Structure 1
Amino acid sequence: MARDIDELCYSGPPICFQFDTRAMKRISTLVLPLLIAASLTACKSKQNEAQDAAKDAPASTAQAPAEPGATAPAAPAAPATAAAPGAKFDLQSVPVTDKALPPFPYLATPTGLPEEHMTTTKDVEFDRVFVLAGEELRPVEGKVQKRIFNLYSLKWSALAAHRNYEAALKALGATRVDKVDPRDEQFIQRNGGNESAMLKKMGVDSLDSLEDPEVPGFEQWLIRTPSTNIWLTFSLKNGEVRILTVEEKAMQQQVQALPAAKLSSALKQDGHVALYLNFDTDSQVIRPDSLPAVDEVVKLMQGEPALKLRVEGHTDATGDAAHNRKLSLARAESVVQAITAKNISAQRLTAAGKGPDQPLADNGTEAGKAKNRRVELVRV
């Protein structure tokens, strides 16, 4: 069918120009070329705008397939990877102090506080404590002391306590090294997921939830000396100031392995003998320095093939009794496993956990507690 209307369109957005054929016959042959040229110019302009918009589009916008032979645009450079949270702390980043230090525990009792109001809750020559270094929970070993006093005894506010200790520590050349709040959820998840257990390993037990940024509630300080590192923890809880001091040092070996012959003699005479083995804090892992004592038990059982033993774990009275019984059993089982690993039949050994139930000495003194923390071999 003949059409009276001819359409002229381009392959972009629908822009059309319509011409009446009968009318066109009356238009000058010079005017028609000008109209066609104008329409083509408009099409070209639209195409250029579309191309410019495509160039300005974000990198994430989907791109049309490239024409054959075209060069693909270069991919944007990947951003630099940030340091992983909890990265290992650089001890060398802390300057060594040039101050003359007072004796351990380095911080005196505050002026005006009666000595009896400063309570020492822990004072041992060697233990392991976890400190907050940067964003790392770092185990350190050495001499440990923890002291507590009540803010009311000095009529101090929490802010006054913070500023007093901050000034005193800086005067000793200490550097504050905590870079994350120990109550931070991600920090807790990176370190076992149990806030209470983690704080216990840090020796702070629990912390106040303070909103004042001038009173952080927890501060980890470090004094580096030419010979050792001294970690000092300042924390607040229920109106109390808590100061924990750890002076890093190696343990001085004081317990020697009892020879197999003496073990045998004691078992024949008394029916039992105590071993003083070292374990990781609140753990059943036997420390390497106690393995020679385990080797003497192996020699004993190799020399007496008919001997059967019950290995009993004992603790002091510190902490929850039920937890201590469970821990003492786990330690006894570790000793059994260490012995049977040396080709001693498991049929000759049993494990038992006595916890704090059978003390040998007064749990009110550190010396008594040390005597109560033992593993006993009992002839069966």
Structure 2
Amino acid sequence: MKKTVIVALLGIVFFSCKNEKKVESTENAEQKTETPKTETTNNEIMSTGINWDEIPDLKDIGNFPFITAPTGLKIANEKNGVSEFFDYETMENFLGNTIYTAEGKLGILVFEGSEGKDFNQKLFDKSVYDYLDKIGAKKLYKGNFPEDENQKAKLEKNMWNGKHGTRGILRESDSPFAVYAFKNSGKKYILNIQSNSAQGNVFIMELKDFEQTIKKYSAEQMKIDIDKTGKAILHINFDTDKATLQPDGQKTVEEILTLLNANPNLKLSIEGHTDNSGTAARNQKLSTDRANTVMYALAGKGIDIKRLKATGFGSQKPLKANDTEENKAENRRVELVKI
């Protein structure tokens, strides 16, 4: 009888351990088969976007901005078909899961009621969306603002201050928006459309890469300015609150060197100027040190120092009032004055 009880007890213990191993094995299997969560990085977002090969190339749709007001509505402050126009801007475009950043010229069309009538939101939506669908523009997104806070913040950058007010995509619960794209005559276009009970807006961008048109202040231009006015005004970049030339400042010195080598009889007074930040004594010293930096840099490159002199004026001779950061930047300068 005792043997029977012992065997029974051993059987229970063995069965219990076996069950525990099965449970543990099942839990491990579930953990192994669980799909890991992934996050989309900014680089991945930027690498995705619009495949322009799949965007239709539309014909016979007129000229920019391609959309006119339907009967019963008008474009506010209309000039050349738009309410506001910007030669160059950027626009963030929500594609449903990513944001595509575009740059180029931007036209804003603000629709309101005409002939004394209130704005009709249903008329606007029906007219604009039916028209875009009819001409074959590709709908990339239509719906509400995204839930992701980073994407919301990026879309809220779509706010432009024009001559007649500030316009942009609004985060409103009753104002869904849509994004369309098409090509025409070799150019790419993106539209954002949004309306509410008060007005309808179309933001249309003709995509174009930014072209840098600022050219370096060359030795030739310095000579032209000196011959015309007796001086050349240079905005040479130094380290903040120091007289150490930054790399692009060194390139400007190279242009002054070219000027002096091409005109061996030219003598220059190198005059430093600051804005009114800081004390008068500090500005005087800083402007003098910067003028000396330029002079000795030229002398070190072989220019006879007898052709040069350096003077600092601090903030005594501003070109503009020191009332904005832009004006202060204009006042921080080095002038080459013909002796």
Q: Does 1:127 align with 2:88?
A: yes
Report the residue type matching 2:91 in the other structure: F
After superposition, the C-alpha distances for 1:86-143 in whole angstroms (9 at most, x for unaligned) are 523242277231532321112122333345564744324x413132253444443333
Higher gyration radius (CA)? 1
Aligned to 1:211: 173
Aligned runs of 1:61-100 on 2, under 5 Å? Answer: 76-77=32-33, 79=35, 81-82=37-38, 84=40, 87=45, 88-92=47-51, 95-100=54-59
Counterparts of 1:208 and 1:259, CA distance in 2: 46
Aligned to 1:287: none
Aligned to 2:129: 166
Counterparts of 2:319 and 2:134, CA distance in 1: 48
Contact 2:94-2:100 at 8 Å conserved across structures: yes
Aligned partner of 2:186 among 217, 221, 227? 227
Scaled by the length of structure 1, the TM-score of the pair is 0.51
Counterparts of 2:123 and 2:233, CA distance in 1: 50
Structure 1 residue 297, shift from structure 2 partner: 8.4
Counterparts of 1:220 and 1:302, CA distance in 2: 53
Aligned to 1:37: 4
Counterparts of 2:173 and 2:118, CA distance in 1: 21
After superposition, the C-alpha distances for 1:12-56 in whole angstroms (9 at most, x for unaligned) are xxxxxxxxxxxxxxxxxxxx3xx6425523541453145224413
Aligned to 1:4: none
Counterparts of 1:356 and 1:245, CA distance in 2: 38
- 2:48 alignment partner, SS class: coil
Report the residue type matching 1:185 in the other structure: E
Counterparts of 1:146 and 1:270, CA distance in 2: 43
Cα gap change, 1:114 to 1:138, in 2 (>3 Å): closer
Counterparts of 1:223 and 1:356, CA distance in 2: 47
Instruction: State the superposition RMSD in angstroms.
Output: 5.3
Counterparts of 2:311 and 2:129, CA distance in 1: 59
Structure 1 residue 295, shift from structure 2 partner: 6.7
Structure 1: where are the runs of 5+ without partners? 1-31, 62-72, 276-291, 313-335, 359-373
Scaled by the length of structure 2, the TM-score of the pair is 0.56
Aligned to 1:186: 150
Aligned partner of 1:112 among 59, 66, 72? 72
Counterparts of 2:161 and 2:199, CA distance in 1: 17
Contact 1:223-1:229 at 8 Å conserved across structures: yes
Contact 1:97-1:223 at 8 Å conserved across structures: yes
Aligned runs of 1:301-340 on 2, under 5 Å? Answer: 303=259, 306-308=269-271
Aligned partner of 2:198 among 217, 239, 248? 239
Counterparts of 1:51 and 1:91, CA distance in 2: 57
Structure 1 residue 149, shift from structure 2 partner: 2.5
Structure 2: where are the runs of 5+ without partners? 235-247, 261-267, 276-289, 300-309
Structure 1 residue 185, shift from structure 2 partner: 1.3
Cα gap change, 1:209 to 1:121, in 2 (>3 Å): same
Aligned runs of 1:268-307 on 2, under 5 Å? Answer: 269-270=228-229, 299-300=255-256, 303=259, 306-307=269-270
- 1:109 alignment partner, SS class: coil
Cα gap change, 1:57 to 1:254, in 2 (>3 Å): closer
Aligned to 2:225: 266
Counterparts of 2:8 and 2:311, CA distance in 1: 100
Contact 1:208-1:238 at 8 Å conserved across structures: no
Identify the structure with bigger relative contact order (alpha carbons < 8 Å, sequence gap 6+). 2
Counterparts of 2:322 and 2:63, CA distance in 1: 35
After superposition, the C-alpha distances for 1:217-236 in whole angstroms (9 at most, x for unaligned) are x3222214582320112234
Could you tell me the percent identity over the aligned residues? 13
